[in-house]
Amino acid sequence: MNLSHIEHIGIAVKNLEEGIKFYEEVLGLKCYAIEVVEDQKVKTAFFQIGQTKIELLESIDPDGPIGKFIEKRGEGIHHIAFATEKLNFSLKELKEKGVNLIDKNPRRGAEGLNIAFLHPKAAHGVIIELCEHPE
Ligand code: ZN
């Protein structure tokens, strides 16, 4: 599979402004980007910490994945994203291993990354995202 590091941790928040405030004022991180990802029905805020980012996710549609997640489980960690050099190869490997995937093919995520989600049933209740920096 050849994953290199944790690219980011996705955290579902009810209110992005309040989330940003906590990460900036309490934890002392700096929000460097805010981006709407229509495809996932979210507004995101990014913080860098070492090689890893924190991605806060606020739903922009109650029927979107984050809206549903918060309704069911409340705020909290939503997914862990691993960096892979070759997303297509990683997906192929997962398919060969019969892993349950949400995305059978890569799609475009925040920050222009190519991403794909594994089904949480395949990974002990954790939503795993693989992401690849486009060349
Ligand atoms: Zn993510």
Q: What's the 133 CA to ligand 1 centre distance in angstroms?
A: 13
pLDDT value at residue 39: 87
pTM, entire model: 0.93
Query: Residue 47 above 90 pLDDT?
Result: yes
Q: How far is residue 92's CA from residue 43's CA, in Å, rounded to a whole number?
A: 30
Q: How far is the CA of 37 from the centre of ligand 1 (A)?
A: 11
109-116 CB contacts, 8 Å cutoff, 24+ apart: 109/37, 109/39, 109/40, 110/35, 110/37, 110/44, 110/46, 110/55, 111/33, 111/35, 111/46, 113/7, 114/87, 115/81, 115/87, 116/87, 116/90, 116/91
CA–centroid distance, residue 96 to ligand 1 (Å): 24
Domains belonging to the chain, first-starting first, are 1-9+78-135 (3.10.180.10)
Q: Residue 77: pLDDT above 90?
A: yes
Instruction: Please give the DSSP secondary-structure letter assigned to residue 55.
Output: E
Ligand 1 centroid to Cα of residue 97, in Å, is 23
Output the CA 79–ligand 1 centroid distance in Å: 7
